[in-house]
Amino acid sequence: MKFPYGLSDFGTLITERYWYQDRTDRLADLETVGRQLIFLRPRRFGKSLLLSMLEHYYDLNRAAQFEALFGGLAVGRQPTALHNQYFVLKWDFSLIPAHGEMADIEAAVNRHINDSILDFARRYRQQLPETIDLHPEDALSSWRSLLSLVSQTPHKLYLLIDEYDNFANEVLMTPRFDSQNRYQTLLQGEGLFKTVFKAVKAAAGGLGVDRVFITGVSPVVLSDMTSGYNVGEDIYLLPQFNDLCGFTETEVATVLAELQREGGHWSADAALATMRTVYNGYRFSEDATETLYNPTLSLYFFKALAQQGQYPRRLLGENLAMDRNKLSYITQLPGGEALLIDALSGDDRIMIPELVQRFGVADVLAAVKDEPFMASLLYFFGILTSAGEGPLAEQILRIPNLVARSLYVERLREGWLPASETRSVQQATATLYQRGDPSALCDLIEQRYFQILSNRDYRWSNELLVKFAFLTLVMDDRLYMAVSELETDRGYVDLALIVRPDKRRFQALDLLLEFKYLSLKALDLSGQQVREQSREALAALTPVAQKLNEAEAQARDYGATLKHRYGLPHLHGLAVVALGIERLVWRAVKM
């Protein structure tokens, strides 16, 4: 089996016999639902391949290739009447650089549209009555020339726009003092970007454009261009298109079973459990009944199994991580980091009245960031996903999987701990991983981390502080699936470090950690008195011993479920108690 990881050209994928998860059965629904569609999904979720499939299906120049491209797919057995009936023009705004001055960006927009029109003219020169007039400094004039010629033919135009919000979002997120002014110049008033979409709207009003399909990541731009383009229909929350991009668990399991038949020293069941934890969990419509696997990450995993006979070394490759600028942008917005911490604290803790679907630059840069606003932004970037409805019809959002969780944990660690501590962290975690001894990690947290975290403006409560201290230091996808608030039959494990199935030949231990918290007031001790005592002496104090006993009982109880679920004969438990923000004491738990 050949997997098209990083490949988004539908023609190449089909003709060179790469594996393709058929979504052509949705074409009839897309034709019925509307003529100008807007479809949003997080980055690297297969949107470009979807557009390429539409391009190949509707392109009148590819009519002779229809059987070769679609004969073996669902739509090939029952094609719609519109296949191969259109001129197809594609704009890819991810190719437009956002750096430089406004004149540079506007020139780049003009060049890209003109280049697309020139390519269009070459591909359809046999069908067009004459040559399109290209205006190098005015792409919209070139656009009008194209439409004039199209209107003289029996066919109409299908316009595909990929990553419509890319360069506008880049302008917003680039840390410059004039970001808001730059964005407003592009989108508000008679800015170039807004003018482009006004031209598209006009063309769809009887001037030659019959259908438009627009993809992007977030709806930030939609609000600001409403008066320029208010005819687009949002389909990204409709349940029938929940899995238009992305793989279902049945589809993933089918691929793993086929790869297993081809051979390899790995288990399809174990691989599915790993992928479920790491890549699954996306649900884009609250009415959808099934969660989805990230398609790019799944293909990355499949390709490693097919070519190397084993899991990829890193479950999240560096080139797959979210753009660090966007991640930094989100966490630096007022309330962004606090919301992240709330989401990491446990499932179903983010509940908002409804998803905010349109917000403009004024909201992003200037408005007060309430929880619905920030949670909605995180949803569109794939960091939170729909988890159903609450008791009063609230929208419940949660972190979808370990990949999203690890990206944010990484970001928090970068913000909370100096880079100079990296080696100390590695040495401390190695002792924990190999011997189940958290002493060095506790020392590091006491001496470095508690001081940093105690100065953050958050309302830490109970064991949350110590759990976050550990969580941000032990996430290591080279060896572990590190899961916080893992659900068991009896409750939620505070932190579980489960060795990846393909890494069990190494010396890393499976670990379960339960955390408790005691205030200094409850101990009737000062910070100075706590700091002066040994861990052994502190552990012997009656209130501390009671908390250790509670954590130990919970660890033993939860551990029974984890041992059965993951087949862990030698799970190591740890009970950890934080004494204020001064000291940590711990006890090994016999499971």
Instruction: Select, from the ranges 86-100, 312-326, 369-383, the one with the highest average predicted confidence (pLDDT).
Output: 86-100
* Residue 390: pLDDT over 70: yes
d(C-alpha 399, C-alpha 404), whole Å: 7
* Residue 176: pLDDT over 70: no
- Answer with the residue of higher pLDDT: 179 or 528: 528
CA distance to 289, 300, 323, 366, 384, per residue, from 402 (Å): 21, 16, 17, 32, 12
Which of these CATH numbers, 1.10.10, 1.10.3470, 3.30.160, 1.20.140, describes 321-416? 1.10.10
Region 10-241: CATH code? 3.40.50.300
List pLDDT tens digits, range 468-479. 889 889 988 888
List pLDDT tens digits, range 315-341. 876 655 555 666 677 777 777 777 777
List pLDDT tens digits, range 242-255. 999 999 999 999 99
Three-class SS of 170-238: HHHHCCCCCHHHHHHHHHCCCCHHHHHHHHHHHHCCCCCEEEEEEEECCCHHHHHCCCCCCCCEECCCC
d(C-alpha 20, C-alpha 16), whole Å: 11
Q: Judging by DSSP bridges, how do beta strands 511-518 and 480-487 pair with one another?
A: unpaired
List pLDDT tens digits, range 55-68. 999 999 999 999 99
pLDDT band at residue 467 under the 50/70/90 scheme: confident
Query: Across residues 293-310, what is the average pLDDT?
Result: 94
**Domain ranges in the chain?**
10-241, 249-281+290-312, 321-416, 418-591
DSSP reduced 3-state for 373: helix
Q: Which two tokens stand for residue 307?
A: 């070519």
Query: Across residues 133-154, what is the average pLDDT?
Result: 95
CB 65 within 8 A of CB 38: no
pLDDT band at residue 188 under the 50/70/90 scheme: low
Q: Which two tokens stand for residue 287?
A: 């009415």
What pLDDT score was predicted for residue 172?
A: 62
Q: Please state at what angle helix 464-474 crosses helix 422-435, rounded to 10 degrees.
A: 100
CA distance to 46, 380, 519, 520, per residue, from 217 (Å): 11, 6, 44, 47
Q: Give the residue among 14, 116, 114 at the shortest CA–CA distance from 56.
A: 14
What pLDDT score was predicted for residue 455?
A: 63
d(C-alpha 297, C-alpha 272), whole Å: 13
d(C-alpha 213, C-alpha 90), whole Å: 10
* Residue 457: pLDDT over 60: no
Burial of 208 (0-12, 13-18, 19+ CB in 10 A): buried
Q: Determine how many CB atoms are found less than 10 A away from the CB of residue 547.
A: 24
d(C-alpha 204, C-alpha 198), whole Å: 10
Side-chain half-sphere CA neighbours of 498 within 13 A:
24
DSSP reduced 3-state for 470: helix
User: Could you identify the residue written with the tokens 């993951």?
Assistant: 566
Query: Across residues 34-49, what is the average pLDDT?
Result: 94
The one-letter amino acid code at 471 reads: L
Q: Determine how many CB atoms are found less than 10 A away from the CB of residue 504.
A: 12
Q: Which two tokens stand for residue 142?
A: 């070139």
What pLDDT score was predicted for residue 382?
A: 86
Q: Give the residue among 10, 117, 7, 109 at the shortest CA–CA distance from 53.
A: 10
What pLDDT score was predicted for residue 304?
A: 94
* Residue 307: pLDDT over 90: yes
pLDDT band at residue 103 under the 50/70/90 scheme: confident
Q: Give the residue among 28, 153, 37, 119 at the shortest CA–CA distance from 81.
A: 28
Q: Give the residue among 10, 188, 185 at the shortest CA–CA distance from 102.
A: 185
What pLDDT score was predicted for residue 239?
A: 94
